[in-house]
Structures are given as C-alpha cells and as structure tokens.
Structure 1
C-alpha cells in the first residue's frame, strides 16, 4: 500500500486490512519517494487520469498550465497528487478505498 501516513483514507484502508487479517506493507511517499518505473507501472495499469487526486490541496495549488499537462515528472515532484491509497496486489492495482472493492481481497 502506497500513500502518506497522515491521510484519513489510508487509515481507513489499513484498518480494513488489519480487521480482515490481510497482510500488507505500507510505503509512505514522503519517506520513500516513488520512482519513475513504479509510477509508470501504476499509470500503465490505471491511467494517469485515474491516478491523480483532483481534490487534493496539491492539485488545487497547481497553475492552470500544470493542471492541463500533468506529467510523470510533475507527479514525482509532488507525490501527494496521487490518489490514496494505491494498493498493489498480486493481480491488480487499486486506487482509493472502498469497502466493496477491498472486500474482494477477503
């Protein structure tokens, strides 16, 4: 699971996984920045559009030109643009948290 530790959605997702006894590793974007190869893997599976959190403060603080041209480099510089959590499983990559989608892991 990728995200940032103080994110409420991360906390909900972690609680769900713990309560359902599903093992996971948490990787904080701020402590362990994501590399370009890993980010490209997420984009290839999900698309950049689905990966970007347009409700985040980071996104709202971008200028119009940046908002219209989000690149991997921009996301690497501003990892909080990534919607959280990003959960990588053996078969899939899920972004965001919903009990319905996470229930499929049980």
Structure 2
C-alpha cells in the first residue's frame, strides 16, 4: 500500500515518524506540509476518512494557532470556515499526517501506527 506522508522537516515528531516509516520499509510519498499545504478538498476528504473530530486536525501547540487565539475562535466557526483556515496555513495542521486510500493518521503515536500501517 502506498501512503502520502505530510510533514514539516524541522518538526522532531515528523522526523521520528519518517524514521519509523523507513525502518518498517513502508512505501510513501513525502510532502512538505508548508510548501504544499493541503487543499480544502483534500482536507475535507481526509477529515471524513479519518472519522476523527475536525479539532484533531489543528496543531493546538503551534505558534500560529496560539497567535491567532484559535482556542477561543474555533467554537464559533463553521466546519467549512475551520477547514478553509486549515488550508490557508500548513502550520495550523497537526503533523505528521499519514494518508492512505482507507485511513488517515493524525500525529505520530507508535502503537497506532504499528496497528494501522501494513
């Protein structure tokens, strides 16, 4: 199975996830989440496929998230507005993302990846 791996190379968690993928000989296409930010269409599809709440896709520990005070603003925004916001800046998206045709993993949790990545 081929995966799309979205990462920010300066992110330690992304580097750990990439190392894990390489060690487990997982085939993937690498994509820089800032240089090639996901589109509204991609995010909409991935959020639906993941079956996770939209809020899980936000990088809540990120500087941009904090600077924009999104903790207070997101609850009053529509889902469409939130996805458009995510699509506007890759630094707002929790990373890494590992996308396949039937699943989307958000963040790097070894146990989850070991169970899900074949």
User: Is the TM-score greater than 0.5?
Assistant: yes
Contact 2:74 2:82 in 1 (8 A): no
Query: In structure 1, the residue corresponding to 2:13 is in which secondary structure?
Result: helix
Q: How many residues align?
A: 106
Unaligned runs of 5+ in 1: none
> 1:87 aligned to 90, 98, 102, which one?
98
Contact 1:56 1:81 in 2 (8 A): yes
Superposition RMSD in Å = 1.8
Higher strand share: 2
How far apart are the structure 2 equivalents of 1:5 and 1:40?
24
Q: Deviations over 1:47-66 (max 9, x none)?
A: 31111121111111113564
TM-score computed with the length of structure 2 as normaliser = 0.79
Change in 2 beyond 3 A, CA 1:63/1:103: closer
Aligned to 1:33: 37
Unaligned runs of 5+ in 2: none
TM-score computed with the length of structure 1 as normaliser = 0.87
Are residue 56 (structure 1) and residue 67 (structure 2) matched? no
How far apart are the structure 1 equivalents of 2:22 and 2:100?
15
Change in 2 beyond 3 A, CA 1:26/1:94: same
How far apart are the structure 2 equivalents of 1:92 and 1:76?
19
Contact 1:5 1:11 in 2 (8 A): yes
